[in-house]
């Protein structure tokens, strides 16, 4: 179940998208698993079904889920999801690295930070 925080500055649909991304990458939702229907999830969260539909369209556009007409929305395959998430995170990394370099960080500092992270996950 996705949890909403009405104090969060992000739009509700974005919180839903992020919640499903976390559940999919965390293994809570597995490839091939069916998501709740738009109506059911809207009723559970007490929000407009159009908000759920918008979130599902976004997840589908990003490759997280696939819609089967008449059947519902299903989580895409694990390899596809990991590859898309990797690309998304690398884009964020590129933007952060460019901003850090603009602020005066050295290439050496960035490389050291990456290597430090690699050691933590080894």
C-alpha distances in angstroms, 74 versus 43, 68, 87, 99, 104?
19, 8, 21, 37, 45
pLDDT the model gives residue 27: 87
Class of CATH domain 12-76: mainly alpha
pLDDT at 116 over 90: no
- Sign of CA pseudo-dihedral 61, 89, 17, 54: negative
pLDDT tens sequence across 46-97: 999 999 999 999 999 988 999 999 999 999 986 676 777 788 889 999 999 9
**Claim: this prediction has a pTM higher than 0.85:** no
Number of Cβ within 10 Å of residue 2's Cβ equals 19
pLDDT tens sequence across 3-14: 999 999 999 999
Return the domain boundaries, the chain: 12-76, 79-120
Distance CA 122, CA 97 (A): 22
């Amino acid at each position: 179940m996705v949890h909403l925080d009405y104090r969060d500055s992000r739009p509700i649909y974005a919180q839903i998208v992020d919640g499903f991304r976390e559940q999919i990458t965390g293994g809570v939702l597995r490839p091939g698993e069916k998501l709740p229907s738009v109506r059911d999830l809207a009723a559970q969260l007490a929000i407009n079904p159009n908000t759920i539909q918008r979130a599902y369209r976004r997840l589908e556009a990003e490759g997280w889920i696939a819609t089967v007409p008449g059947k519902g929305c299903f989580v895409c395959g694990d390899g596809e999801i990991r590859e898309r998430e990797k690309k998304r995170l690398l884009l964020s990394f590129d933007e952060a690295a460019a901003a850090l370099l603009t602020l005066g960080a050295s290439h050496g500092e960035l490389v050291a930070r990456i290597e430090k992270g690699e050691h933590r996950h080894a």
